[in-house]
């Protein structure tokens, strides 16, 4: 169910959610062609910033119908301590309900041509991507975490999406040993295809608003992501 947009330019759609409020907001872009596969974009711990909106815009230019749910309800920050607090204060269950509502909303939109959605997330959102895919099962056909992991207790048995991950060799907050262990658990619990790419880069290497930005790694990971989403979401549509 969609509603009129509000005064926040990065909250141009409202959709149903099983949270107490009954709804959530997000930023949606449709490609110029008017239709395309659906992709959920999950924010970093900074919130639904201009950077995340730019990623949604870029997906739309690539031919996808892209939606970034606003998990912080309009709050953003560029201060790492405040970002850490916002992430800590975000109830995991509420985030899960908002993300589930976003999947339903996207799949119900007439512009979306795929029978499943892709889920792409960065930092905090990278962990949420894998949780969402495990929660939503067949409704998420492709999962792309960028330098983020869920907790070690995450149950991946319900996950049906192929997984493509992007991680930095110089990332001190997400060790590659933990990344590889998560990949092993994904294969064991879900039996899905898991491909992990490692880059000569630190954490958040795609974020061109931060000093960790590494253009070459960012663009290679972006190209791999769009190719993967096109292939997996097209295959899901063909088999539906």
Q: Cα 182 to the chain's mean position, in Å?
A: 17
Residue pair 44/125 in contact by the 8 Å Cβ criterion? yes
Task: Map residue 180 onto helix, strand or coil.
Answer: helix
What are the beta bridge partners of residue 40? 67, 119
Catalytic annotation, pick one of 16, 51, 123, 166: 123
The residue from 25, 51, 166, 203 that is catalytic is 203
3-state DSSP of 64-108: CEEEEECCCCCCCCCCHHHHHHHHHHCCHHHHHHHHHHHHHHHHH
User: End-to-end distance of the chain based on CA atoms, in angstroms?
Assistant: 23
The answer to whether 171 is a known catalytic residue is yes
Residue 108 is a catalytic residue: no
Residues 224 and 197: their CA atoms lie apart, in Å, by 10
Nearest-5° angle of CA 108, CA 147, CA 105? 10
The b-or-e profile of 154-181 (16+ CB within 10 A means b, else e) is bebeebbbbbbbbbbeebeebeeeebee
Catalytic residue among 171, 177, 193, 197: 171
Residue 123 bears catalytic tag? yes
Distance CA 223, CA 172 (A): 25
User: What single DSSP character describes residue 60?
Assistant: H
Please list the active-site residues: 123, 171, 203
């Amino acid at each position: 169910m969609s509603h009129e947009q509000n005064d926040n330019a990065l909250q141009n759609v409202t959709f149903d959610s099983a949270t107490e409020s009954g709804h959530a907001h997000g930023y949606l872009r449709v490609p110029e062609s008017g239709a395309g596969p659906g992709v959920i974009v999950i924010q970093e711990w900074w919130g639904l910033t201009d950077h995340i909106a730019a990623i949604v815009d870029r997906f739309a230019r690539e031919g996808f119908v892209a939606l970034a749910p606003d998990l912080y309800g309009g709050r953003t920050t560029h201060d790492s301590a405040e970002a850490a607090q916002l992430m800590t204060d975000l109830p995991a269950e509420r985030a899960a309900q908002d993300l589930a509502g976003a999947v339903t909303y996207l799949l119900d939109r007439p512009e979306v041509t795929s029978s499943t959605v892709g889920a792409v997330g960065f930092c905090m959102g990278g962990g949420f991507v894998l949780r969402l895919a495990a929660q939503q099962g067949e409704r998420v056909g492709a999962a792309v975490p960028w330098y983020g992991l869920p907790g070690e207790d995450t149950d991946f048995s319900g996950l049906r999406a192929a997984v493509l991950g992007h991680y930095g060799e110089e990332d001190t907050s997400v060790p590659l040993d933990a990344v590889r262990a998560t990949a092993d658990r994904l294969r064991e619990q879900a039996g899905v295809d898991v491909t992990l790419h490692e880059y000569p880069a630190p954490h958040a290497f795609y974020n061109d608003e931060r000093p960790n930005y590494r253009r070459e790694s960012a663009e290679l990971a972006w190209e791999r992501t769009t190719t993967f989403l096109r292939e997996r979401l097209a295959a899901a549509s063909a088999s539906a």
